[in-house]
Structure 1
Amino acid sequence: MNLTGRSLSTLLDYSVDEINFILELSHKVKKEKKEKIFPKRLANKNIALIFEKSSTRTRSAFTVAAFDEGAHPEFLNKSDIHFGKKESTKDTARVLGRMYDGIMFRGFKQETLNNLIQFSQIPVWNALTDDHHPTQAFADMLTLQEKIGELKGKKLVYLGDAANNVAHSLMIMACKLGMSFVVCSPKSRRPYSEIISQCEKIIKETGAELEFSDNPVRAVKSADCLYTDVWISMGEENNPECKERIEILKPYQINNKLMCATENESTLFLHCLPAVKGMEVTEEVFESKNSGVFDQAENRMHTIKAIMIATLT
């Protein structure tokens, strides 16, 4: 399958076969890494890493993945390049497109990412915007494949604040891969309606199931995996609405009682990190034998490496 030159804006842009191709490649490059095999498929490639939002896992994953494959990653924060202020996004994109082979963008507006794609004319990868987080979803699915095997028909329950980028990309990915995906959240914190509509079209083709619930105990029954994310996203800390949001989300905390309510002793717990333990998840669950969060964090590197290889070579 040839994905050369493709950008990754949202998972809606990729077919089921293309997603599976990247996941298969992710398994391959992870195995190579463990066996200390480094083919250097990205030798002499230069990668621009643009960060409007800081990150531990994203920066580390892109940097190590690039070095492993022989590429040179260059970290650029918004103050380094006067991004969108002294120089327009359009002009920055045209300059970087002439100097780099690929661009990673982690920031706020989806529109900014789309401008980078349009005007740079090189592959651009969405490492987080306000609306989507596709590289995270690839790591999530690689982890699920490793932990529970074939994903079609498996039940994945997302609990808490689902009106965010992680829930959006996870829902799209689960629907494309034929899973049973349950969004368990207050009605006021469900995914954006337009993304739900797009997923409802997808499940007609893939046979996936999509359900919405505000009853955590009922929603998690027979779940293969419970997933959550922080209730207050980066950049929202000073939002006066956040205190009220925390109050309405308290019943959706993943704790030992809720894990037991799955009636499945092997139910996996996942979290994209960083976690606020004691809020969306308890320390007990986070540190339990059912937790796969650090395998999930490592898999950011392997799936990102696969995405870069697939779109640059």
Structure 2
Amino acid sequence: MRHLISIKDLTDKEFETLVDRAEHYKKIFKAGDASEIQKNHLKLLGKTVALIFSKRSTRTRISTEGAVAFFGAQPMFLGKDDIQLGVNESFYDTTKVVSSMVSCIFARVNRHSEIQDLAAHSSVPIINALCDMYHPLQAICDLLTIKEKLDYTENKLKLAWVGDANNVMNDTAIACLKLGIDVAIATPPGIEADASIVDAALAITERNGTKITLTHDSVEAVTDADIIVTDTFVSMGEEFAKVAKLKQFEGFQVNSELCSHAKPNFKFMHCLPRHTGDVSDEVFYGEHSIVFEEAENRLYAAMAAVDVFVINKGDFEAIP
């Protein structure tokens, strides 16, 4: 049994397969062929999938429930006030009980250690729907979006990340490097990428010839970039530190002046929700923005994860 914890746990080929499967299911979903949809709907008919969410969400909840329903299973949403997870019952006990009744658990939690605990004790696949260290479903979605808009299979691309060194950045950087996209990361002084992520990134670059740049200069990062990506500077749960965080990130807003250093046909991406401190309205709603196409692709990323880790039981060799 395999779990989806982070992109760095996957081989380059395995991650490419996930993106390709997301693309495959998007075509099926968009075509609306009743017979093809019914065929997929039978794959998990009669099964139940648990969605354990310690954090509220919009895109993650809709996409995971939609993916589960697409394959015929019943999604069971379990918010932080719905079950005893870590409250009046041990993490171990809850995991053993829930996993005995379902076919998969999507987990959107706070700490990475919680994902690790779930994976250690669950009898069914755990799919990480976000923790403080990783966000693999977002990475699948983002690379699908880049493939559609700029086709990394045919073009040498550079992605620039501007902002915090967070969970989204961790998986996105690794994902891009695995598929041949160079990465430049610009964070404010005092904020550095996690050492384990840097080590994993360097190992990939040595293997496949991609390049990673770490800098505190946002202009350096975005120069000649094909894709510019940012995320909210004040993450969920950090609202108490909003004033200090925004001060720390002064000068890192993605705006037209910063984007003028990128390639003329650059694309802008953001995992949402966004705030005007992260990116100006002109860029977010402008002609280069693909944020809403990116958001929709979260559905197909979740479908790919269910297909590979639940239907095919983590056996990548069994994928057509």
Greater displacement, 8-17 / 150-159: 150-159
Match of residue 206 from structure 1: 208
Tell me the distance in 2 between the aligned counterparts of 1:230 and 1:119.
33
TM-score, normalised relative to structure 1:
0.94
TM-score by length of 2: 0.92
**Percent identity of the aligned residues?**
33
Residue equivalent to 1:6: 2
Bigger shift: residues 188-197 or 228-237: 188-197
Would the aligned equivalents of 2:110 and 2:131 in 1 still touch at CA under 8 Å? yes
What secondary structure is seen at the aligned counterpart in 1 of 2:219?
helix
- Deviation, 1:187, is 3.2
CA distance in 2, matches of 1:191, 1:127: 21
Mean Cα displacement is larger for which, 167-176 or 140-149? Answer: 167-176
- Give, in whole Å, the separation in 2 of the partners of 1:269 and 1:91: 44
- Contact 1:50–1:104 (CA under 8 A) maintained in structure 2: yes
What residue is the counterpart of 1:120 in the other structure? 122
Aligned-pair Cα RMSD in Å: 1.3
Is 1:179 the equivalent of 2:178?
no
Q: CA offset at residue 131 of structure 1?
A: 0.7
How much does 1:45 deviate?
Answer: 2.2
Instruction: Give the CA deviation at 1:250.
Output: 2.0
Q: Distance in 2 between matches of 1:96 and 1:206?
A: 41
Question: Among 310, 313, 317, which residue is 1:312 paired with?
Answer: 310
Distance in 2 (alpha carbons) for counterparts of 1:92 and 1:140: 32
Distance 1:131 1:8 in 2: 13
Mapped to 2, the partners of 1:214 and 1:196 lie a distance apart of 15
**Structure 1 residue 159 corresponds to structure 2 residue 158:** no
Q: Which residue matches 1:15?
A: 11
Q: What SS is found at the alignment partner of 1:252?
A: coil
Distance 1:161 1:115 in 2: 26
The AA in structure 2 aligned to 1:198 is: A
Distance 2:125 2:208 in 1: 28
Asked if structure 2 preserves the Cα contact closer than 8 Å seen for 1:183 and 1:190, the reply is no
Unaligned runs of 5+ in 2: 312-320
After TM superposition, give the deviation of residue 258 of structure 1 in Å: 1.3
Q: Describe the SS at the equivalent of 1:74.
A: strand
192, 208, 215: which is aligned to 1:190? 192
Q: Identify the residue that residue 21 of structure 2 maps to in structure 1.
A: 25
How far is 1:301 from its partner?
0.4
- CA deviations on 1:176-203 (whole Å, 9 max, x unpaired) are 2221100011232222122212211121
Which amino acid is the alignment partner of residue 115 of structure 1?
D
For 1:188, the aligned partner's letter is: G
- The aligned amino acid for 1:6 is R
Q: Distance in 2 between matches of 1:206 and 1:53?
A: 36
Look up the match of 2:291: 293
Alignment of 1:227-242 (within 5 A): 227-239=229-241, 242=242
Shift of residue 244 of structure 1?
A: 2.7
Which deviates more from structure 2 when the two are superposed, residues 147-156 or residues 85-94? Answer: 147-156
Supply the distance in 2 between the matched residues of 1:275 and 1:122 (Cα, whole angstroms): 34
Structure 1 contact 178–208 (Cα < 8 Å) conserved: yes
Alignment of 1:56-67 (within 5 A): 56-67=58-69
Contact persistence 2:55–2:108 (CA under 8 A): yes
Q: Does the 8 Å CA contact 1:213/1:219 hold for their aligned counterparts? A: yes
Does structure 2 retain, via aligned residues, the 8 Å contact 1:250–1:280? no
- Residue 129 of structure 1: how far off its partner (Å): 0.4
- Structure 1 segments unaligned to the other structure (5+ residues): none
Matched pairs, number: 304
| AA at the equivalent of 1:258 | L
Quote the Cα distance in structure 1 between the aligned partners of 2:250 and 2:145. Answer: 27
